[in-house]
Structures are given as structure tokens and as C-alpha cells.
Chains A and B, each alone.
Chain A
Amino acid sequence: MENPFIQKDFNKTAEKLKQGDQKAGEEIFNYFQPKIFRYFMVRLGNRDTAEDLSQDIFLKLIGKIDSFNADLGNFSAWFWQIARNSLIDYYRQKKTTAFANLDAVSPYLVDEKQNRAPEKSRLEAVMKLVSELNEEEQEIFSLRHLSGLSYKELSRMTGKSEGSLRVSLHRINQKIRKEIHD
């Protein structure tokens, strides 16, 4: 089974993407799209906005890929930085509460045949805990637990050392221990 915390090296794929290689594009999209979407979902709490932003990121990628230089860095870190900047821009304009519209998105939770009431109440409890984390903690939580970033990637993205990230994550885990275990 693939370890979610081991980051694949996409530098070669990114070079192919520069040449317009469709397969490389699909590979990058399939790998990053769910991870980036999850990150936006936790930080924005709104499915529509998360969809808009994640779609924009991939269109931006096509426009920006020429400026990516594999000699200067790692594609994954470079791409995550674009995602993070877009979110910062969005946050400057509109501030939304994490998981603000649970009712609107609850149809995505479970199969129609199942009774979703117990799941919904469990999810509400989990989300309450996550929404009580501060912005920085939400970011670390979502990137590590939901998007599956390694400490190395997280460190590149947030500018914090791997050691301090481990400490932060330990604190976050303490806060949410009641409802979530990794």
C-alpha cells in the first residue's frame, strides 16, 4: 500500500507538462487535485468556494508552468505554494468559517441508502473540534492528516522547521484526541 506521507518526485513530470504532455497533466491533476481540494475544504469550509479555487489553481498552473525551474526547487513545493498564496489572497478578501455549511454538503457524506443521521452528528463533533483550531493549526492539520504531506513538504510550504512542525502537530493531536486518531 502506498504511504501517503511519501511525496513523489514530480519534477520530470512537470518538465513534460511544460511541453504540453497530456499524460503528465493527468498524472499531476489526479495526484494533487484531491489533496488541494481537501486543504481548501478545511480552510474555507465551503464546497463551492473550494471547487472554484481548486479549479483556478490548475488553470494557473498552465499559465505558470514555464516559470518553474526544476534546478531551483521541487515541483510539489512550488505548486503547493501557489495554492497557499491563492488561499491567502482569498482570505484577504473574504473570511469564511471552517465548515460553515454542513447542511449544504451533507449529501456528499454517505450513500443514499444509508441513514446518515449518526454519521452527521459524529462529523459535526469532529468538525467542531477542527473549527476550534486556529488558522495555522487548521492548515497543519489538513495538510498532514487529510492531504498527506510529509514533514519535509510541510516545512518547505510553511517555512517552519520539521521539529517545530512535529511539536505543533503533537499539540493539535492532543486537542483533537477525543474524536480523531491518526
Chain B
Amino acid sequence: MIKFLKERLTGRKNLLLLKKYTKPNKEFSNESRSLFISKLKKRRVMAPAPFRRALGYSFASLILLSSLTGGAVVYAEKQDVAFNHPLYPMKRLGENIQVKLAPADKKPAIQDEIARKRLTEIKQLIVEKDEKINLINSREAAEVKRAVAEINRATTENSEAIKQAEEQKKKTIERIAEKHKKEIEEMENESKSKTEELDHDFRQTVDSVLRAIEPSEKESKNRERTKDLCESLRKKIREHEEISKRNENWPDFKDKCEEVKKED
């Protein structure tokens, strides 16, 4: 009995130890909370979702008529609208204008920020895709369950009827599975083409940052800034490789950023 109690006590202690080990550390939790809340505060200024959506659609048509105001551009840019939002093209337009109007030395930092946005949008698309697949799968399971229950209810004691019902169940399940398979395929293709588009834009933006690094590279006052940009790009490229699941070749990055690293 004592041995049993001792074992239970040790086991309990070990579970607590494991809980302690897997606990997030305070510093990280505080930083993470602050980041989360600050992002949330930005959202606070936004109107409630249904209103925002309605506003988005009405603005889209308004902008066509009054592009001089640039209101939609500012709105889309400020709200950092998602890829599938009607005002997304306005956001991209705003980014282009921002790059065009910025002084040469500020351009790389702006483009670096734009690359970050593309990366976030790619990640959002991937999450959305997985969520849609989960939804389709759970819908499929529910449909199968409902259809089978209906067939079961209609089946009598008669053995011939039971046999026919089994056949019917099999066919129904196959039909539902086929329907959802097609749905998933269509959705995956759509998501793939959107991801490729964003992927392309991400690469172009990173290339622009790399191109902009060149002229200022030799000036000592810009060395710190160049180093920061290279470090920021390094992280993004690594993250992008993880998302795209392939090793990527960035010769310009090696030429310019490795050079900065070596000289230091």
C-alpha cells in the first residue's frame, strides 16, 4: 500500500515537473501579450466587420469615380486589407505610390516592409486553405452520416431490402466523397494560383530591396542600415523557404549581403 502511494506521489510530482518544464517563460509571455494587444489596438479603430465590408464594397465603386481623392488608397493601406478584399488593389496602388515618392535612401526600408506584407498574405492564404479543407471534410462526414441514417430508417426487416440498402449506402458515400474531392481540388487550385501570384510579388519586392542596397553599400554612414536590411531579408527569405518548402537560390542576396557580413 505504501509502495503504491509512493509511486502515485512520484508520478504526480513528475507530471508537475513536466508542466513546469513546458511552461512559457514570463518574459516571453509578456512580450507576446504586448505584441498581441498592440495589434489588437490597431484593430480597435476599425469599424465592426459587417459595416467595414459594406464600406469596402461601396468605396470600391466610389473610387472608380473619384480617384483624385485617394481616400480608398489611404483606407486600404491603413487597414492593411487582406488579399481577397475588394480594396486590395488599392492597397497595392498605395504601396507603389509610397515607393515612388520616397527618397532613394528610404526606398529599401519601405520595400522591405512590403515584402513582409506579401509573406504574411501568403501565410494567411495557406491557413485559409487548411481551414477550408477541414470544413469540407467535416461537412462530408456529416453528409455521409445523415444519408446513411436516412437509408437505415427506410430499411425493413426484409433481407433483400437490407442488401439493397447496403448497396445504396456504398454508392451514396462514394458520391459524397467524389463531390467533396472535386470541391477540395478546385479550392486547392485556386489557392495555389493566388499563392503563386503573391510569391512572385514577394520575390520582385525582395529583388528591389537588393537592387537598392548597391549604391549606398560603400558609404560608411549607410552600413548599419544595410546590415539591418540584410538581416531582415535573411529572415524573410528563410521564412519563405519554409513556407514554399524548397531551398531557394538568391544570388543577389549572396553577392550583396554576404559581402557586408564579410567586411564587418
Interfacial residues, chain A to chain B (CB-CB below 8 A):
17-20, 22, 25-26, 29-30, 33-34, 37-38, 41-42, 50-51, 54-55, 58-64, 66-67, 81-82, 85-86, 88-89, 92-94, 105, 108-110, 119, 122-123, 125-127, 130, 142, 145-146, 159, 177-182
Contact = CB atoms under 8 A, between A and B. Distances in A.
Contact of A38 (B22, B32, B123): B22
Interface string B1-33: 000000110111111011111111100110011
Interface string B31-46: 0110111011101111
A89 B131 CA distance: 12
A85 B40 contact: no
For chain B, give the interface size range: 35 or more
Nearest to A30: B33
B32 to A, nearest CB: 5
Contact of B35 (A38, A59, A94, A105): A59
A26 B33 contact: yes
B124 A63 contact: yes
B29 A25 contact: no
B136 interface: no
Contacts of A109: 17, 20-21
Contact of A105 (B21, B43, B242, B245): B21
B196 interface: no
15 contacts: A18-B49, A20-B41, A20-B46, A37-B24, A42-B22, A55-B35, A58-B36, A60-B124, A82-B131, A85-B127, A109-B17, A122-B14, A125-B14, A180-B11, A180-B18
A51 B242 CA distance: 17
A109 B243 CA distance: 33
A181 B8 contact: yes
**Which of A37, A63, A178: most chain B CB closer than 10 A?**
A63
Given A26-B33, A94-B242, A81 B134 contact: yes
B131 A85 contact: yes
Contacts of B32: 29, 33, 51, 54-55, 58
A63 B131 CA distance: 14
B117 to A, nearest CB: 12
Contacts of B148: none
B130 interface: yes
Nearest to A78: B131
A66 B245 CA distance: 29
6 interchain residue pairs of minimum CB distance: A181-B11, A20-B44, A41-B22, A37-B24, A38-B22, A85-B130
Contacts of A25: 36-37, 40
B17 A122 contact: yes
Contacts of A22: 37, 40-41, 44
Nearest to B25: A108
A63 B36 contact: no
A81 B24 contact: no
B251 interface: no
**Which of B33, B40, B130: most chain A CB closer than 10 A?**
B40
Contacts of B242: 93-94
B2 to A, nearest CB: 15
Contacts of A94: 242
Contacts of A181: 7-8, 10-12, 14-15
Contacts of B43: 20, 62
Contacts of B215: none
A127 B19 CA distance: 11
B39 A59 contact: yes
B125 to A, nearest CB: 11
B119 to A, nearest CB: 12
A37 B22 contact: yes
B60 interface: no
A83 to B, nearest CB: 11
Contact of B33 (A33, A82, A145): A33
B74 interface: no
